[in-house]
A and B are shown apart, each in its own frame.
Chain A
Amino acid sequence: MADKKKLNLQRESMRRQDPAVRASNFEEVALGYDQEQALREAGRCLTCKKPRCVAGCPVEVDIPGFIACLQKGDVLEAARVIKRTNSLPAICGRVCPQEDQCEKACILAKKGAPIAIGRLERFVADEEARQASPETSPKAPPGGRRVAIVGAGPSGLTAAGDLIKLGYRVTIFEALHEPGGVLMYGIPQFRLPKEIVRREVEYIESLGVELKTSFVVGMLQTVDELMAGGYDAVFLGNGAGLPYFMGVPGENLNGVYSANEFLTRSNLMKAYRFPEYKTPIKIGRRVVVVGGGNVAMDSLRTALRLGAEQVTCVYRRSRNEMPARGEEIENAEEEGIDFQLLTNPVRILGDDQGWVKGMECIRMELGEPDASGRRRPVPVEGSEFTIDVDQVIVAIGQGANPLVASTTEGLETNKWGYIVADLETGATSKPGVYAGGDIVTGAATVILAMGAGRKAAQAIDEYLRGLDR
């Protein structure tokens, strides 16, 4: 099949807030495409007959399909196409690592100019919200099978959306007072405005999903009690939980936060607007964030916006091994974050009042590859030095929260406490109970959790059909 069209390799750039301005506000950094830009970018798509991008998407959005609608200028139809497989497009368009997924697979990636699929998805979702009240499907018929979803994060919301479209009665149980999970407590306003999360949650609710907040499954009711109380199947999407600390001396000093705490105070509780919002947060003068992932980038940029004078990233490997998205590292660099790479904390130093006043670090160098395939960082002897710091945020990952697994009869977990589940179906060791997202895989991405929610919804549908046979 000869392609007569001349390839357009001018990837449309997206407007962003000026780094000098955005470093002191919590408004969204990326400003999105306007109509003209979106149509120009959509126009570059070859709408391949055998699209590789779709296979690169964990929820298999019909990418050429929605872009073809855009090329015709039909934004609402484009939104319908996306929502067939993705209930949260405005979120995915913003926080998915497209460069490692759909865009990496794009045929134009070989020429260095993949279609900006994420930006187009974001444009479609935002434009749909602006133009029209989102389409809703008919609500589930009364009296049907009931499914309980534990956790209103990305995997739970996705599973809920899919299951209600399949005709089931769905209830989501959320421990916090607001739905959204990591989208609400973890990812900051400047990367994912909370209004957008609320809009997507409202869409799920408009489909007829019932939402119970401030409901801790495992404490208020166990999974077994939910099942005895009329739920025919349960999806566990309760996320990763307990933050890891480094295990170095001084970690419990005042001024040392887990990234989870720091971000929850700022994002969910809106402490960045203290005292209007009543949850306080410490504003450091010199802040160190330990870690190199997206959570570390979010913490660094939040500390900066709260008003810290100097914000430093301490990461034990080099920039190449940083797990954060390239785009977020660049954003942080542009905003003036200081990066101390190949550096590892040895201990945190306190004053006589129990407050952080310094951090002793050691330089590292890369040795042989370790189990993760990345070169193992090893300390450089005698290279210790001290950083002047009054706030430390530890962003080195998190482990499994045991509240659900430890209270559910017959639910198998692995040695780290994560729930053992089939990666294709989410099926656990307990009949009728499925699981997906971070509670199965450990901390990963929003879209992988959504993909797991989607697969589990299909498996739950099959399971429930089996019950009715």
Chain B
Amino acid sequence: MNEIVFKKTLSPEIKLYKIRAPLIAKKRQAGQFVIVRLEELGERVPLTIADSDPEEGTITLVVQEVGATTRKMGTYREGDGFLDVVGPLGRPTEVKKYGTVVCVGGGVGNAVVFPIAKAMKAAGNRVISIIGARTKDLLVLEDEARQVSDQLYVTTDDGSYGEHGFVTDRLAKLLQQEQDVRLVVAIGPAIMMKAVCDLTRNFDIHTIVSLNSIMVDGTGMCGACRVEVGGQTKFVCVDGPEFDGHQVNFELLMARLRMYLPEEKKAMDAWMSRDPVGPSVAEHTSAGEDDGR
């Protein structure tokens, strides 16, 4: 059991949890993830580690409530715990001094790109961050991003905050102004990462994406998370989660992310029609979620 020592609602659908996991906190590096199982009947859900505090022995997870499991997670309070937290999993980000690095985050992907921006900054890079969300309410970790960035741009799809438009609109302008961008890190919904990659390909700028495929064990055993990179099948859990975005087959990724939509809907219906007593009721269900990026 891993105790929730701190919980904060960042937006109506996005919550931040600090979880007691001392060994993971000590070991994890930027870009790595954990797999969480909430309860005995629960599924295994991969979640990127947004931050950690080795002194305090905690890791931070930022979770968007996209399905029944993450919604149920949202009902957990400080003092409650997640039954299993395993990690750190995946290869860490290759952090080194590149020069100017642009970190692009979309939606809850801002929480995933944050530790990478932080590590890139610490490695001596000039970090420019572009973070975006559909609307103001869904924008998370703006202050955190500002702290680790030399420049920060904020966009919302509906113009309710920051610049009106997509992160890619801002990125296109930026890449025309900035001549010496050495690396773009793009993390968010698959469609956003694809759009970023299509853009940076024209500028011939190396672009890293972090993929959010469906997983079960997270240690290379099952192959649920397989994706195609450069025409080859790769496992996101052990070969990734980060890949050269220009080589990723995003259509395949998006199709595979839709694999369990009917089951997810069934689980959500069950969750929505649940007995309103609380999170201990057995029929609360969910299905095949990832961290909703």
Contact = CB atoms under 8 A, between A and B. Distances in A.
Given A214-B84, A275-B267, A258 B69 contact: no
User: Which secondary structure dominates chain B's binding surface?
Assistant: mixed
A405 to B, nearest CB: 12
B220 A403 contact: yes
B221 A260 contact: yes
A215 B219 CA distance: 11
B259 A282 contact: yes
Interface string B255-274: 11011100110110010000
Contacts of A260: 221-223
A401 B221 CA distance: 8
Contact of B282 (A257, A276, A282): A276
B287 interface: yes
A282 to B, nearest CB: 7
Given A216-B87, A280-B263, A354 B41 contact: no
Given A220-B88, A242-B238, A354-B252, 18 more contacts: A213-B84, A216-B86, A216-B89, A219-B88, A243-B221, A257-B224, A264-B221, A264-B222, A275-B267, A275-B283, A275-B287, A276-B41, A278-B41, A278-B69, A279-B216, A354-B251, A401-B219, A401-B238
Contacts of B83: 177
Contact of A243 (B41, B222, B258): B222
B9 to A, nearest CB: 23
B89 to A, nearest CB: 6
A401 B239 CA distance: 12
B267 A216 contact: no
Interface in A192-213: 213
A257 B219 CA distance: 16
A175 B86 CA distance: 8
Contacts of A245: 223, 233
B121 interface: no
B88 A175 contact: no
8 contacts: A214-B84, A219-B87, A242-B223, A261-B223, A276-B283, A278-B43, A279-B287, A354-B258
A351 to B, nearest CB: 11
Contacts of A277: 41, 43
A215 B217 CA distance: 12
Contacts of A215: 86
Contacts of A252: 226-228, 233, 252, 256
A264 B216 contact: yes
Interface of A: 175-177, 185, 213-216, 219-221, 241-243, 245, 251-252, 254-255, 257-258, 260-261, 264-265, 269-270, 274-280, 282, 353-354, 401-403
B184 interface: no
A176 B83 CA distance: 12
Contact of A242 (B44, B68, B235, B256): B235
Given A221-B23, A278-B286, A279-B287, A214 B259 contact: no
A279 B216 CA distance: 9
A219 B89 contact: yes
A255 B83 CA distance: 30
A261 B237 CA distance: 13
Given A276-B282, A276-B283, A279-B44, A354 B255 contact: yes
A242 B221 contact: yes
Contacts of B86: 175, 177, 214-216
Q: Give the 9 A-B residue pairs with the shortest CB-CB distance, closest first.
A: A354-B255, A280-B263, A261-B222, A214-B86, A275-B285, A280-B287, A279-B43, A258-B223, A278-B43
Nearest to B285: A275
Contacts of A401: 219-221, 238
A261 B219 CA distance: 12
A280 B286 CA distance: 8
B109 interface: no
Nearest to B262: A280
B260 A221 contact: no
Contacts of B256: 252, 254, 354
Nearest to B252: A252
Given A214-B85, A254-B256, A264-B222, A274 B263 contact: yes
B37 interface: yes
Contacts of B27: 219-221
Q: Interface centre among B87, B221, B226, B252, by most A CB within 10 Å? A: B221
Contacts of B240: none
A264 B44 CA distance: 11
Contacts of A274: 263, 285, 287
A242 B220 contact: yes
B269 to A, nearest CB: 9
